[in-house]
Amino acid sequence: MTNTAAAVAKSETEVKSRRLVPIQKVRESVGTTSMTTIYRLLRAGELGPLIKQGRRSFVLEDAVHRYIDRLVSAQCG
């Protein structure tokens, strides 16, 4: 892989990890129907920081993926 290709791949990874997911989508992705549970996970640091933009709330996509990976690891051993 050339330096340019490596830089592009790194850049794409950084952009993906910086995507914001609306809090409602986080709820669907995690599989809970309770917003209370989502906010409890946020306070505990399980879903990363809550990002506010105006009246909307978001979470980093990468943080959601890490949380789901931890759930799978805990279930699968």
**Confidence (pLDDT) at 12:** 55
Residue 12 maps to a domain: no
User: What is the tally of structural domains in the chain?
Assistant: 1
**Confidence (pLDDT) at 75:** 87
Provide the domain limits for residue 23: 17-76
Q: Give pairs for 61-69: CB < 8 Å, separation 24+.
A: 61/16, 61/17, 61/18, 61/19, 61/20, 61/21, 62/16, 62/17, 62/18, 62/19, 64/21, 64/26, 64/29, 64/30, 67/30, 67/41, 68/29, 68/30
**Confidence (pLDDT) at 15:** 52
Note down pLDDT in tens along the chain; length 77 residues.
Answer: 565 655 555 555 555 558 999 999 999 999 887 999 999 999 999 999 999 999 999 999 999 999 999 999 998 86
Residue 30 maps to a domain: yes
**Confidence (pLDDT) at 16:** 55
**Confidence (pLDDT) at 18:** 82
